[in-house]
Amino acid sequence: MPGNALPDKLFFKIGEVAQIVGVRAHVLRYWESEFASLRPLKTRGSHRVYRRRDVELAVLLRRLLHEEGLTIAGAKRRLRDLGRGAVSMPTDATDTPREEASSALAVARDNDARAELVAMRAELYGLLSALDTVVQVEGDPVEQPVTEVSADGRSRSGGAGIVDRSGR
């Protein structure tokens, strides 16, 4: 029995999709071979990663094939009539599923890298504030580069300067 609500996630593993759709994993793999619009991304280890639109399409395919009793050809016609993406291989070389998947995977990697960099930046700001709280010998100014932090959290170096941390 397919699940009613689609979890609020960007990517799904094949087992999760199979459970949501209400079919076994081998059925999803077969549908991938029959419906060109159902093209999950693949990781470096060749694991399938389904996007939200792939899961929605799989739910629609299950309804067409299992509940309405259409054949594969009938489901392809219905999808074409509904305008739910290409059911045959695209003719434009720039829009092939492999290139689209490669592009989407690159975007996912970029998002992961960006999230990791944001976390590193937060950790570095924490370290910087911890270093700022270190008590200096009174009257002994500390020479360090002057750094300004803009509203968006980016820093701009402004050369070396003397900072008196003694509180005077």
What are the sequence ranges of the domains in the chain?
11-113, 137-168
Q: How many helices (H) and strands (E) does the chain have?
A: 5, 5
Identify the CATH class of 11-113.
Answer: mainly alpha
| DSSP 8-state secondary structure symbol assigned to residue 7 | P
- Torsions phi, psi of 149, nearest 5? -115, 125
At 102-117, the pLDDT tens digits run: 555 565 666 667 777 7
What's the pLDDT band for 26 if we cut at 50, 70, 90? very high
Dist. CA 151–CA 19, nearest whole Å: 45
Q: Which residue has the tokens 């399409």?
A: 57
- pLDDT higher than threshold 50 for residue 2: yes
- pLDDT higher than threshold 60 for residue 89: no
pLDDT for 41 equals 92
Regarding pTM above 0.85, the answer is no
- pLDDT higher than threshold 90 for residue 126: no
pLDDT for 149 equals 57
